[in-house]
Amino acid sequence: MRKQKGMTTSISTTLLLLILCGCSPKINGLYEDSNQIIKLDFKPSGKVYARIIGLPIISDYQEKDGKIIFTSNQGETFVDIINEKILSIDHPLSEYTGKIQLNKVE
């Protein structure tokens, strides 16, 4: 009986860890670059309110494979998730400037 109780606890712990890992929180909050050219405000509802070079964008977003994807009139925008405090995005003139780092505003 004692062995069975330990096994039940072990299975319960494993299931809890699997549930917690599968339900990682979405990126949320305000992120902006140091020059405030790009601002992305991710809401827990799955909406992003963006301002990219002064142009406002409101869109649904998805997280997939370490990226955030949202769509505007200009097409899809891909944002790399570095960690929960730092994102990276291609600048519209990225061939000249490269990627821009966005930091979470706290």
> Residue 3 falls within a domain, yes or no?
no
Count up the domains in the chain and report the number.
1
Domain range enclosing 97? 26-104
Q: Which long-range contacts (CB under 8 A, 24 or more apart) does 38-45 make?
A: 38/89, 38/91, 38/100, 38/102, 40/79, 40/87, 40/89, 40/102, 42/68
> Residue 39 falls within a domain, yes or no?
yes
> Residue 21 falls within a domain, yes or no?
no
The model's pTM: 0.71
> Residue 94 falls within a domain, yes or no?
yes
Which of the four pLDDT bands, split at 50, 70 and 90, describes residue 91? low
pLDDT digits (tens, 9 = 90+) for 4-16: 555 454 444 443 3
Averaged pLDDT score across all residues of the chain: 79
CATH number at residue 69: 2.40.128.290
pLDDT at 4: 54
pLDDT digits (tens, 9 = 90+) for 30-54: 999 998 889 999 999 999 999 988 8
> Residue 12 falls within a domain, yes or no?
no
pLDDT at 29: 97
